[in-house]
Structure 1
Amino acid sequence: MLSRTADHLFWMARYTERAENTARMLDANYQMSLLPQSEEYAALGWRAMLSISELAGIYCAAHPTLASLEVIEFMTSDRDNLSSIINCLRAARENARAVRGSITTELWETLNTTWLDAQRMLADGVLARDPCEFLEWVKFRSHLSRGVQLGTMVKDEAFYFMRLGTFLERADNTARILDVKFEMIEQHGGGNAQPLAQSLDYYHWAALLRSVSGFEVYRKVYRDVITPERIADLLILFADWPRSLAASLEEVRQILARVRNVRSAQAEAMAIKLHEHVCASRIGDILRGGLHGWLTNFLARVNELASCVSGDLLVPLAPEPDAAPASMHQA
């Protein structure tokens, strides 16, 4: 397969997954902001989300206040925010259009309809009326596109490059969603998550689990009260759940073995090493050493892996001054 074609397929899937995960992060924060809490703590949640998404500077340059609806609009419909949901859906559609002959008609129509309907919904004022309606719709359309992909595509190189983009993006975003919550706790609790966690309302943690479709999974696996340690364990180490870091990296490792070329040995080695690092970790050791630091290191390594994949298998990412990391933009 031509590297340019593979590149479009990879980013088509990655932007679709990014739109979904941005919707998940926003939904979790919005649901938490509706619960009884101080204004300071509510603002901390939005600030942490923007910081971990590496968008705090862009947001603050255009918005003097940190209001929930302003953050939601910035992250969903702002055309100047390259990682906003509407820009991700547009980019996914444009990448699909560029390789129209490599995907099925059903998949193209799903992505194209998603882009058209998203513009209509935003123009109709869905964010002012009910932000959760739009965020749930974005998640549903992402599920739909993956289902159409699985149900209509031949499992050839095109299929696997799409899957590669999906799971690299998922690993990055699952780590960010988890980091948003725990960074709030560490900032508010002086770096020790447990004392503050004990005083937080049950519904805060339930909202976090629901944001990653993990509430029922948590109940099935742990059959006990919700604790931050077990939430971290589920999102990081539980390999049988498809949104965990361990599961995402296992998929990346297997896919790279299928699409390897003469230059991709380094990317494969990096994926194997990172997967082994995650699987060898223990949640108690991670928390004692500081979850935020562990996740920051993980995100740096995932971004490095993504850049290596681009250099070895796709169209290399061109560095740009004052640009966000490779995980945030397509070159």
Structure 2
Amino acid sequence: MMLSRTADHLYWMSRYLERAENLARLLDVSFSLSLLPQSQGARAEMRAPLVITETLDRFSARYPKLTAEALLQFMALDRDNPASIISCIRHARENAHAVRGKITVEMWENINATWLEAKTFEANGIANVGDFFDWVKARSHVFRGIAYGTILRGDAYSFIRLGTFIERADNTARLLDVKASLIAQANKDNPQDAQDYYAWSSLLRALSAYEAYVEMYREGVEMRSVTELLVLSPRLPRSLCACLDAICKIVAQIEGDNGRLVQREAHLLLNDLRFTEVDEILEHGLHEYLSECLVEINALGNTIDEAYLRVA
């Protein structure tokens, strides 16, 4: 079993990189939906990243008005915002630097280069928003590919992957919850089938799930099927079920006996997802169900911290 401090750095290095990618995905879809012609929910769409990251009060204290430019600066390049993309990349790089001896040279060079390029964006500004979001996602993909192809299979690799899937599960639940609430409110105020379709499609694209949806479902894009895919599908890499399945397999591979409670909690969450039908979720209430999932994912994260990462 590796030292708790080392495991902690590897775990959070991975979480921060995944978080930066998720922020880019979230901002991308929010900017797209806010530009819909005669969009009734444009302001709500721009507020969504602040609500999901719980930084609305911090933003309001610093910016007198919610604009696309202010939101981009705050969520992408503001180092004083701990939830910004550049802050996540900086934290990931700091954690990687602390464990350079446990990751490969290629992994370190990739994450260090990402940080240097991020500082270039900070200095020069973002010329093209879409290109910037694609760059963030690509750097995250490249790092995961390098890790998969170069690092020894052992506890270091396990903690890197564990951080990725905990963060991904949390993000999928948050994004689906907030977006579903926004779409429901927009329909209540001004029902528009075309805009509703575009909103659900954009959510799927934000989670790289649109192509999978088209392959699996014959009907148009609608709430029930989107929920089933993003929550219950074991085949979609970013679904809650797939993330929990990966977490269960990862913790089973970590050496030592500390993870017994982690394994139990993770398997309980996974089994609940495996034996739940989408109609049960919708009958219970999607917001209520996802809120409970977020509490359980957060509790699992705390158990991971106590079992593996807390320095005695």
Deviation for aligned residue 1:276 = 1.2
Report the Cα distance in structure 2 between the residues aligned to 1:65 and 1:316, rounded to whole angstroms.
43
Greater displacement, 49-58 / 270-279: 49-58
Corresponding residue for residue 154 of structure 1: 152
Q: Tell me if the contact between 2:183 and 2:199 (Cα under 8 Å) persists in the aligned partners.
A: no
The one-character-per-residue Cα deviations of 1:81-100 (angstroms, maximum 9, x if unpaired) are 11110010011111111000
Corresponding residue for residue 215 of structure 1: 210
Identity percentage over the alignment? 44
- 1:166 paired with 2:164, answer yes
Report the Cα distance in structure 2 between the residues aligned to 1:196 and 1:297, rounded to whole angstroms.
28
Report the Cα distance in structure 2 between the residues aligned to 1:37 and 1:204, rounded to whole angstroms.
14
Corresponding residue for residue 73 of structure 1: 73
Q: Tell me if the contact between 1:261 and 1:313 (Cα under 8 Å) persists in the aligned partners.
A: no
Letter in 1 for 2:101: G
- 1:44 paired with 2:44, answer yes
- 1:53 paired with 2:43, answer no
Deviation for aligned residue 1:70 = 1.3
Q: Tell me if the contact between 2:30 and 2:48 (Cα under 8 Å) persists in the aligned partners.
A: no
Q: Tell me if the contact between 2:183 and 2:196 (Cα under 8 Å) persists in the aligned partners.
A: no
Letter in 2 for 1:91: H
Letter in 1 for 2:89: L
Report the Cα distance in structure 2 between the residues aligned to 1:189 and 1:120, rounded to whole angstroms.
41
Deviation for aligned residue 1:263 = 2.9
Deviation for aligned residue 1:65 = 1.5
Q: Tell me if the contact between 1:185 and 1:196 (Cα under 8 Å) persists in the aligned partners.
A: no
- 1:291 paired with 2:286, answer yes
Greater displacement, 246-255 / 61-70: 61-70
Corresponding residue for residue 141 of structure 2: 143
Corresponding residue for residue 88 of structure 1: 88
Report the Cα distance in structure 2 between the residues aligned to 1:265 and 1:211, rounded to whole angstroms.
34
- Give the gaps of 5 or more residues in structure 2: none
Report the Cα distance in structure 2 between the residues aligned to 1:42 and 1:31, rounded to whole angstroms.
9
Q: Tell me if the contact between 2:18 and 2:168 (Cα under 8 Å) persists in the aligned partners.
A: yes
Say if 1:287 and 1:316 are closer, same or farther in 2 by CA, change over 3 A: farther
Corresponding residue for residue 321 of structure 1: none
CA RMSD of superposed structures (Å): 1.9
Q: Tell me if the contact between 1:167 and 1:248 (Cα under 8 Å) persists in the aligned partners.
A: yes
Q: How does 1:239-254 map to 2 (within 5 A)?
A: 239-254=234-249
Q: Tell me if the contact between 1:249 and 1:271 (Cα under 8 Å) persists in the aligned partners.
A: yes
Give the 3-state SS of the residue equivalent to 1:135 in structure 2: helix
The one-character-per-residue Cα deviations of 1:193-214 (angstroms, maximum 9, x if unpaired) are xx94745343222221111111
Q: Tell me if the contact between 1:197 and 1:228 (Cα under 8 Å) persists in the aligned partners.
A: no
Q: Tell me if the contact between 1:52 and 1:179 (Cα under 8 Å) persists in the aligned partners.
A: no
Corresponding residue for residue 101 of structure 1: 101
TM value normalised by structure 1: 0.89
Report the Cα distance in structure 2 between the residues aligned to 1:24 and 1:48, rounded to whole angstroms.
12
Greater displacement, 152-161 / 196-205: 196-205
Corresponding residue for residue 117 of structure 1: 117
Corresponding residue for residue 259 of structure 1: 254
Q: Tell me if the contact between 2:104 and 2:150 (Cα under 8 Å) persists in the aligned partners.
A: yes
- 1:8 paired with 2:9, answer yes
